[in-house]
Amino acid sequence: MSTANRVASRDGVTLVARDLAHVWHPCTQMKDHEQLPPVPVRSADGCWLEDYDGRRYLDAISSWWVNLFGHRHPAINAAVVAQLQQCEHVLLAGFTHEPAVALAEELARIAPTGLTRCFFADNGSAAVEVALKMSFHYWQNRSLPRKRRFVALSGSYHGETLGALAVGNVELYRRVYAPLLMDVLTAPSPDCYERERGESWAEHSRRRFEDMRALLERHADEIAAVIVEPLVQCAGGMRMYDPVYLSLLREACDRCEVHLIADEIAVGFGRTGTLFACEQAGITPDLLCLSKGLTGGYLPLSAVLAGERIYEAFYAEYAAQRAFLHSHSYTGNPLACAAARATLRLFATTPVIEDNRRLAAHLAARLAPLAGHPHVAEVRQTGMIAAVELVRDRTTRAPWPGEERRGWAVHREALARGVLLRPLGEVVYFMPPYVITETQIDFMVDVATAAIDAACA
Ligand SMILES: *Cc1c(COP(=O)(O)O)cnc(C)c1O
């Protein structure tokens, strides 16, 4: 090892020690770091993260689903730097700026038809809070104050703040806080892992919709909105369903006069094979939540898109007290908006969706053999999201006991082999940046397979 490398390596060790003295990490039992310290990242490039020892890790989960075009993309870098020379931040109340205006125009242009109004916030959970409050407030303004409840799906995830957590249904995240959360109506997820033998995704999704229909019809006069993650319930374990569920839901929401909130924070921007997942059902939600990939994974930003009907219910003389007074300090931050515009320009100037179709097909072909693995119950995929369901016994689908932490073992084994995977429980999933190559997909799947073998031994 050269002197320079030895110094870098020592810097990495020091950095981890300093980290563990002061940084409290998200979604982490900090004691786990006694066994597996955090990886100190010195630089990132394309699909790769590099640590202080020069070891490289393929970012197979797009740094928590935010990165679309790789790390340090030249065009996004340039856009953020240019904006930095112009104006770093200014409040968006009473003032405006080109990056926010142009981004709102562009989102209105590419989103499902009719979503013409753009309300900015600064992270996904905040967008969900905005959508819930907007829906509730709309019905107040329309003098239907009884419409104040929300319907969510089992296995759903919408973020960590208390409103978002309340409409979420993943026990691991919500259990402790349950006494603090508003009461929500829950319909069973159309999750196709639960379909009967021989049943198609569409048949299963239709059948599961009957519970939602009944719930909506029974409670219509007290429901403000239904919130769903279109096509893939991501944090709940990459649970997938057929677009027909969304078409049926749109019809039922219209019939029952209930808002449909589409949380495309994770599935938006090409993840599922179309720019927005809702397109596959040909529907427009009443409110659309966007974040994560919106800035290409550069800066925190979110947006809630609404149509004119909702907007107009808030538009009145000040004295009528109908305004939506929600705000966040960094709402519509110009640097984040500039990163978002550069990201959307990449969609406009390169055939991202078509290229992804080829990459997704390659990923499917490479994952196919895992479907026969003795500890794999299912391999499923929607566009650029693929998931492998690990179980103790594939014939009975008996799960691994949670305390054995097989998913965490996959994470450790994959890291040691140069791939960042972060399974959700025992669901190993792939959500790579769109700039991944077929060779990198091969490497990613080979490592995942070796890690699964080691973790299930
Ligand atoms: C990640 C996520 C959120 C929350 O976004 P944050 O920026 O992490 O607050 C909300 N909804 C869905 C579907 C998500 O995947």
Are 393 and 314 part of one and the same domain? no
Q: Which residue's alpha carbon is at the smallest distance from atom 6 of ligand 1?
A: 124
Are 321 and 433 part of one and the same domain? no
pLDDT of residue 161: 98
Q: What is the DSSP string of 291-341?
A: -GGGGTTSS--EEEEE-HHHHHHH-S-GGG--------TTTT-HHHHHHHH
Domain membership flag for residue 206: yes
Domain membership flag for residue 130: yes
The residue whose CB lies within 8 Å of the most ligand 1 atoms, and thus the one to mutate among 292, 301, 385, 422, is 292
* Lookup: tokens for 333: 């931050």
pLDDT of residue 2: 85
Q: How far apart, in Å, are the Cα atoms of 134 and each of 39, 225, 245, 395?
A: 40, 10, 24, 47
Are 264 and 371 part of one and the same domain? no
Atom of ligand 1 nearest to the CA of 123: 7
Q: Is 123 touching ligand 1 by the criterion CB < 6 Å?
A: yes
* Lookup: tokens for 366: 């490479």
Are 269 and 383 part of one and the same domain? no
Domain membership flag for residue 24: no
Å from CA of 302 to ligand 1 middle = 10
Give the tens place of pLDDT for each residue, 122-171: 999 999 999 999 999 999 999 999 999 999 999 999 999 999 999 999 99
Number of domains in the chain: 2
pTM (2 d.p.): 0.98
Q: Is 266 touching ligand 1 by the criterion CB < 6 Å?
A: yes
* Lookup: tokens for 132: 């819930």
Are 51 and 135 part of one and the same domain? no
Using CA atoms in the order 235, 241, 246, 247, what is the torsion angle rounded to 10 degrees?
170
Q: Which residues pair with 117 in a beta bridge?
A: 306
Are 151 and 266 part of one and the same domain? yes
Are 359 and 439 part of one and the same domain? yes
Å from CA of 158 to ligand 1 middle = 5
The residue whose CB lies within 8 Å of the most ligand 1 atoms, and thus the one to mutate among 128, 291, 385, 422, is 291
pLDDT of residue 4: 87
At 33 the three-state DSSP class reads helix
Last residue of a domain, which of 349, 383, 406? 349
At 266 the three-state DSSP class reads coil
pLDDT of residue 376: 98
Domain membership flag for residue 408: yes
Domain that holds residue 97: 76-349
Place of tokens 């104040």: 148
Are 92 and 137 part of one and the same domain? yes
Domain membership flag for residue 139: yes
* The one-letter amino acid at 291: S
Q: Report how far residue 272's alpha carbon sits from residue 280's, in angstroms, rounded to the nearest whole number.
A: 9
Q: Is 261 touching ligand 1 by the criterion CB < 6 Å?
A: no
- How do the residues of the chain divide into helix, strand and coil, expressed in percent and rounded to 5? 45, 15, 35
Are 297 and 401 part of one and the same domain? no
Q: What is the DSSP string of 343-377?
A: HHHHHHHS-HHHHHHHHHHHHHHHHGGGGGSTTEE
Q: Is 159 touching ligand 1 by the criterion CB < 6 Å?
A: yes
* Lookup: tokens for 379: 């391999």
- Domain with 266 in it: what CATH number? 3.40.640.10
pLDDT of residue 409: 98
pLDDT of residue 372: 96
Å from CA of 373 to ligand 1 middle = 32
Q: Is 260 touching ligand 1 by the criterion CB < 6 Å?
A: no
Are 345 and 357 part of one and the same domain? no
Q: Report how far residue 70's alpha carbon sits from residue 47's, in angstroms, rounded to the nearest whole number.
A: 5
Residues of the chain whose pLDDT is less than 50?
none
Last residue of a domain, which of 334, 349, 364? 349
pLDDT of residue 267: 98
Last residue of a domain, which of 330, 349, 368? 349
Are 54 and 116 part of one and the same domain? no
Q: How far apart, in Å, are the Cα atoms of 385 and each of 13, 61, 124, 233, 362?
A: 34, 9, 19, 11, 12
Are 145 and 263 part of one and the same domain? yes
